Amino acid sequence: MKLLLTGFEAFAGDIVNPSREAVEQLDALPAGVEVKRRILPVVFGEAAKVLLEEIRAWEPDVVLSVGLAGGRSAVSVERIAVNLADARIPDNKGNRPVDEILSADGDPAYFATIPIKKIADAIREAGIPAEVSNSAGLFVCNSVMYAALHAAKREYPQMQAGFVHLPYLPSQAAALPAGTPFLSIADDIRAIRIAVETIASRTIRKNRCLR
């Protein structure tokens, strides 16, 4: 199974992004998984462009993107990406789209094609808080998830795609109001590893059945 795994650079004044740390530090992947990692810019348009270039150059079986959702208390496995950008804050180049369509020829929304409930259940069973989320937001994370799923529908029908959001790291939460939820980088890495294992178990088994 060829896996394109992406995280994001830091944004909004932070010097760290848990998605970057988890993607870069992830190890002990299942046998049969070939991974390519890419850290995306937190910039509307550019992030999706980089992602699509990687997809077209490498043609992965699975695209799993990881991002930060500060304020959430659990690892969020996203169900849906919508064809809209509406930024609460500027991206890393100062862009702040309001009610902008991401793709003129795209569907209003796309559902993730990775096994979202199985992933969330497996992460919880490992003792890490996890949930299925029905909103990937309207920032750059959503645009990347949408781009991957749009490409899957239009160009790569066998490719699976999905998105996982992580809470703040402890160092980030320490600078915010008391009670701000966080998750350790060790648990972030375990959660992403479990997500990859769950996807690989289904994908590799399916591919063997097709031979």
**Angstrom distances, CA of residue 205 to CA of 87, 188, 210:** 40, 26, 9
Q: Which residues of the chain have pLDDT under 50?
A: 209-211
**45/7 Cα distance (integer angstroms):** 16
Percent of the chain exceeding pLDDT 70 equals 96
Contact assessment for residue 59 and residue 28, using Cβ atoms and an 8 Å cutoff: no
pLDDT confidence of residue 207: 55
147-190 tens-digit pLDDT:
999 999 999 999 999 999 999 999 999 999 999 999 999 999 99
pLDDT confidence of residue 209: 44
**2/9 Cα distance (integer angstroms):** 23
Beta-carbon contacts of residue 154 (< 8 Å; ≥ 6 apart): none
Catalytic residues: 78, 141, 165
Evaluate the CA torsion angle 140, 67, 63, 47 in order and state its sign: positive
**Angstrom distances, CA of residue 94 to CA of 12, 82, 85, 87:** 10, 22, 14, 11
pLDDT confidence of residue 178: 96
pLDDT confidence of residue 204: 64
Cα three-residue angle 16-37-33, rounded to 5 degrees: 130
How would CATH label the architecture of 2-210? 3-Layer(aba) Sandwich (3.40)
**155/149 Cα distance (integer angstroms):** 10
pLDDT confidence of residue 210: 39
| 38 token code pair | 């890419």
